[in-house]
Structure 1
Amino acid sequence: MSTTTPAPVFRVMLRFELHPGMDEGFEQTWLSIGSVITEHPANLGQWLMRSAEEEGVYYVISDWVDEARFREFEHSDAHVTHRTKLHPFRRGGAMSIMHVVHDLPGRARATAGDAR
């Protein structure tokens, strides 16, 4: 099996811990404002995931062409507005940043197209 080394990707993972009972409102708000991120020219895509183990915990992963362009967005007025709309739902959370080193596509992704 060969390792595919992708073009450099800067990945951001956010953990959202929500106030009880706010899941549906959070999901709808996230969907309604997601284009602020996906329409940024340096954004490669983003995903919202709900924890299968912890109630009221969500993760957001977004991929960027590089760290500098992400940081540019992170300090923009658009990001502040985006963050402000999600803040009322949160009771806690964290941010992790990373560089994708290797990408090993699974068989299903290879045959069905890239569905990351």
Structure 2
Amino acid sequence: MQRRPVVAAALAVVPALGHAYLRRWTRGIAWLSLLTGSALVFAGVVGVGVGDALAASATWTGLASGSALVVPLGVVIALSSADAYVLARRDARRGALACPQCGRGVDLSLGFCWYCSVEFEYVER
């Protein structure tokens, strides 16, 4: 199944969800850890309580409350979304198969091109 890059980027606004959609579990956990670590570090710098920082990192409502954590956590979330988008684009490009007759994308499980009806020979890789 081909994953859509825009969906992955939109889901990545919630930490690690876009990477879970792409089935990149380790990378999603790494982004979630980075976000939590950033919340803890900037909570210590700004003087916000640790509980407030973790709550702010978990939801956009916490970020929208006007705390000083908005910029650093927003940057981490934006980078996570960009990473999920780039990964999905790379996976889509790598896994794309084209019909030799018409050049459109094909599904090999059908055994023929949906657009021009050319039948495919099964080749074991």
TM-score, normalization by structure 2: 0.33
| Larger helix fraction of residues | 2
Which structure's CA Rg is the greater one?
2
| Larger strand fraction of residues | 1
Q: Which has the higher contact order (CA 8 A, sep 6+)?
A: 1
